[in-house]
Amino acid sequence: MLTIDKKVKEINHCKPGDIPDFVFNSSQPLILRGFANDWPIVSAGKESATKAADYLRGFYSGNPVNVSFSEPENKGRVFYDSNMTGFNFSSAKVNLNEVLDKLLSHVNDPAPPTVYVGSTEINGCLPGYTAQNNASIDHLHPLTTIWIGNRSKIAAHYDFPNNLACCAVGRRKFTLFPPEQVANLYVGPMGFAPGGQDISVVDFDAPDFEKFPKFKEALASAQVAELEPGDALFLPGMWWHHVQSFEAFNVLVTHWWRDSPAFMGSPNNALMLAMLSLRDLSKEQRQAWKAHFDHYVFDHDDNDMDYIPDEAKGILSKPLDEMAARKLRAYLLNRLKQ
């Protein structure tokens, strides 16, 4: 097991509708202790797994959910198969009531199969749930999703949006790494991962430092957040997070939002295009293009282009508005067809 001394900073007395601006502006993760203590789902879960399951059943729309099943010998680790050409679990679309029944049937099982409902849009699955268990951040227009399962270990990965993750039932531990640690986390196949998002292939229960020596550097920057029912974690976008749930019945609710307009698209699109156009150039050419990226993107300041009249700036105007973004996207699509 990993020993990480640095704990995520804790903020007390935050409640739904009363989150200070500095939380949302933080570049570091923050624990909001007791944030969701008044949610009915939290109260139900503190009574029993059955109470929590019955509470969720009361909102269920009947739409099937995606559920993953893994054998007990995997010990909750949701991961690849031995050749990294597939996964160590099977998936199916199932009625949520059947999933809840399956979880409850293994509550007292010391070595249960892993049953895991990943990110599921909550308003479509459980209409009415949010009205009673609301983080009150509607002004951020979050995508709210629910995660339901038993003991599991989700490999370290990142998400582009910011996240307010609320531990509703059971206990969870997040092991966190800042974005710049990507080179030390040994990321697996790109675009092919258990949850869709690229993951670290290091086993956090038994890290192989001979095979993954740079992981020690990542650990030097790691932070740990241990969440009890009712606690929330603010996770800035792009932070890597390994998530472990400890109980026979666990529920997590996440709220994702981005600070930039949706019309700007996903930055991952730019990364994929750069891999297509730049990665296989000579080192000298890559360094030349790196200078251009630094100038126009990464080190760009608002006044860098003041020497160009506003009416002549075109795509150099900042910020891009939606119309300019559409024109730029159309231009790129046309060029990619050539």
Query: What are the tens digits of pLDDT across the range 205-225?
Result: 999 999 999 999 999 999 999
How confident is residue 327, by pLDDT bands cut at 50, 70 and 90? confident
DSSP bridge pairs for 187 = 200
Q: What is the pLDDT of residue 312?
A: 87
Q: Of the candidates 210, 244, 208, which has an alpha carbon nearest to the alpha carbon of residue 224?
A: 244
Amino acid 148: pLDDT: 98
- If we measure between CA atoms, which residue out of 75, 122, 128, 131 comes closest to residue 96? 122
- Over residues 16-34, the mean pLDDT reads 97
Range(s) within the chain of domains with CATH label 2.60.120.650? 9-259
- What is the CA 188 to chain-centroid distance, rounded? 16
Average pLDDT over every residue of 168-193:
97
pLDDT at 1: 67
DSSP for 159-191? Answer: -SSEEEEEEEES-EEEEEE-GGGGGGS-B-STT
For 192-216, give one letter per residue: b (16+ CB within 10 A) or e: ebbeeebbbbbebeebeeeebeebe
pTM, two decimals, is: 0.93
The band of 62, judged by pLDDT with boundaries at 50, 70 and 90, is very high
Band of the pLDDT at 324, cuts 50, 70, 90?
confident
CATH, range 9-259: 2.60.120.650
